[in-house]
Amino acid sequence: MADRVYSLVKGPAGWMLFLDGARVGGIYGTKEAAFEAVMVAASFVVGVGDGVQINVPSDARMRGSDKVGRRGEEVGAFFK
């Protein structure tokens, strides 16, 4: 079990970060920006020897769709 649990939550004005159920940080314009912020915070936690869990919801608009954005194609090409 992780020592710290980070969650990204979509709000009316953008994406918010929660740590162990308490809101931390500001409001991020994109899910990617919020994820980058949580990765930096989690790296410090890992650096002191604690465990982390990061919860990021899927994008419901992309479910059931074969659409892949340009960024997805770039990332896919990187892992081939």
> How many domains is the chain built from?
1
Q: How many CB atoms lie within 10 A of CB 30?
A: 10
Q: Indicate the pTM of the whole model.
A: 0.69
State the pLDDT at residue 25.
85
Q: How confident is the model at residue 71 (pLDDT cuts 50, 70, 90)?
A: low
Residue 25 gets the label, from left (phi > 0), alpha (psi -120 to 50) or beta, of left
- Considering only residues 66 and 30, tell me which one the structure prediction assigns the higher pLDDT: 30
Structural domain range at position 34 = 4-78
State the pLDDT at residue 59.
76
